[in-house]
Amino acid sequence: MRTPKTAPLALTLALAAGLSACIVLVDAEHHEHDRDARSGSAEPAGPAQVAPPAAVEAAEEERPYLLERVDEVGIIQLYADGFEGLSLREKKLVWHLYQAALAGREIYMQQRCAEGLDIRDLCEEILVHPEGVDPATVEAVRHYLKLFWINNSPYAYTTARKYVMKGTDAAALTAAATTAAAHGAHLPLAADETPATLVARLAPMLFDPAYKPIVTDKNPRDGSDPLQSSAMTYYGPGVTMADVDAFEEHYQLNSNLVRGADGKLTEQVWRTGLAEENIPAGLYADELNAVIGHLEEAMPFATAPMQKALAAQVRFYRTGERADRVAYDVAWVADGHSTVDTINGFIEVYVDPRGKKGGWESLVFYEDPKKAELIKKIADNAQWFEDHMPFPDLYKKKKVKGVTARSIDVVVETGDSGPVTPIGINLPNDNAVREQYGSKSVSLANVIEAYDKASGSTVAEFAWDEAEVARSEKWGSLVGDLLTNMHEVIGHASGRMSDENQGVDPSSLLKENTSALEEGRSDLVGLYFMMDPKLKELGLLDDPEEAALAAYERYVRNGAMQQLRRIAEGNQIEEDHMRNRQMVVRWIEAHSTAIEERHRDGKTYFVVTDAGAFREAAGRLLALCQTLKSTGDYQGTKDLFDTYGRNFDEALRDEVIARYAKLDTPAYSGFVQPRLTPVYDANGGLADVEISYPLSIEQQMLEWSGRAQAPN
């Protein structure tokens, strides 16, 4: 699971889900490989080079972070300053893992949108073959592509809704595609397709907002089936929730469910196959074979524990069998000391309306021991926190196992983890593995730093008074770190299933609400302990009471109001982390005297009036959430989110958007990753790996798709 950093660049806790692990994105308060040409086309023509935005060229003295704005999206450069301090062996390891991360990124694009790769290839080919194309059309394509690159699809990460191409139309795009093809563009043409028919095929996705409008629609407003209302590609035409409920899946995490020729459901497994064991190839075999090749090249440079984990993951990619995936999870958790590490696999289940199918992602990172003190203090005291949880003893772990916590610098994130990136991660997601073997938590230090460097504060606009602003300025960054780390390290690692549900996957009981409940539960762990004197005893806070008030104010501003800016239409929250935050705030507001809604000068404010009452209510809600999870209470969980987490007041949303319009801050952000360049010796051997920074999302993405070269 992950803590997401979404919204105007900020480091607060916008915690995220998956059930047993987590990734944290960000709240709304601050700021928050080459590939072969596809069917019908040849290798990309001559490589192009892209100049960084003009604003970046002017910044010669100061290192740029916020590179540009594309609508409500901020584009930030990520730096990995510790890379140069790695040993040559470690740099070589990072290089091969980096290549593996790039090799698999198109899997996730296909998981989010069936037409995604064709859309990207059409638009990129027009972009690098602009000769004779109307400049206005080229700029419209460029603008659209930047949003596509950031979101790995035509769907926004924060709202799940589709964005369309603006500033041009199908006729102009057809003319552009035809002209580009005449100048050497290799378009993604199907059999007997022309540029005109290609654009006609893709036009509904590109221009019609009503066509496949939502990538993940867990609660369709018209009562239709969630699988058929969602654009994600895990389920074939006509496959419904009722069909899936009646079907026994063997490959729950890593398969598509489709109807066979006989009309019966069948699983299309994501794997390469293994001939010597008579295991046939499945979906994404080409991409996974490429990933495997790079992982195998990495193994000679890895530590022995990491070699074991990589070998286990390679086998899982070949067989697709759950037992092999579990073997990888166990080996990955056991490796708590390798300086360089990677996450590479089908991990988070946010895109699936059922919360079952794993989106592909990869991160490559190295530990920064100097930054790890805070997160390790929390991990070292995991048993104390477990023993003092405010939920019933029968749902507490008598022995917390294998909680490993590290502060890391990321070198690359792809698929479901980038360019929109988490700030904290806790894995694996398999509840049984976590209870028996433990978990690993990481805090993405250089991502957090980049968010902070690029951010512009919005506190003054939404805080009730100057005292609240002052508390935010004093404590904001520190409590953001603490909440994220407690969410990841002791939140997701806490609690156990009831005796009756031992060994049962919670998602099979809680279904579409699994992720939102788990994220809310882990948020509440951080909120509850933020005021505890234990944090002062550990040397983490010198004034837990004032710090907790600042943390509660920050959480309430975001959960009640600020995150709504990302939902421009409708009155329903689709994204799990946003649902969980609103649920927490609205439940505490309804069941305590801790939060008061106030109005002044036509503006709405949510004020934390009693930090002690807030903590007490957070403890009660945490006990409820843990009980719902441990007992697998689907109806109770559904009622909780239907009442407090799903819907919002559209007038309040409109007010928030109007107030943000005057602030001119991004709603969420994506990252340009560091660039690695291999240096070869006279014999063709890898002699060194150099790091640089593209300072342009366009340059990076065209390099990764083989349509541009890095500048010399």
pLDDT digits (tens, 9 = 90+) for 643-660: 999 999 999 999 999 999
pLDDT of residue 33: 27
Distances (CA, A) of 251 to 355, 435, 488, 535, 590: 14, 22, 27, 43, 42
Q: Residue 100, Cβ neighbours under 10 Å: how many?
A: 27
Residue whose C-alpha is closest to residue 24's, from 498, 400, 576, 450: 576
Residue whose C-alpha is closest to residue 456's, from 660, 672, 693, 158: 660
pLDDT digits (tens, 9 = 90+) for 363-390: 999 998 776 777 788 989 999 999 999 9
Mean pLDDT of 420-443: 89
pLDDT at 602 over 60: yes
Residue whose C-alpha is closest to residue 21's, from 639, 638, 521: 521
pLDDT digits (tens, 9 = 90+) for 100-126: 999 999 999 999 999 999 999 999 999
pLDDT digits (tens, 9 = 90+) for 491-549: 988 999 999 999 888 988 998 899 999 999 999 999 999 999 999 999 999 999 999 99
Can you give 556-590 as a three-state secondary structure string? HHHHHCHHHHHCCCCCECCCHHHHHHHHHHHHHHH
Q: How far apart are CA 368 and CA 584, in angstroms?
A: 33
pLDDT of residue 1: 72
Listing DSSP states for 507-536 in one string gives HHHHGGGHHHHHHHHHHHHHHHHTT-HHHH
Are the CB atoms for 7 and 478 separated by under 8 Å?
Answer: no
Q: How far apart are CA 160 and CA 567, in angstroms?
A: 9
Helical H segments across 632-675, by residue range: 634-644, 650-661
Q: How far apart are CA 636 and CA 231, in angstroms?
A: 28
- Is the bond preceding residue 47 a cis peptide, omega within 30 degrees? no
Helical H segments across 299-372, by residue range: 304-319, 322-334
pLDDT of residue 37: 27
Q: How far apart are CA 168 and CA 208, in angstroms?
A: 13
Predicted model pTM = 0.82
pLDDT at 35 over 50: no
Radius of gyration of the chain (CA): 24
pLDDT at 137 over 60: yes
**Which one-letter amino acid corresponds to residue 313?**
Q
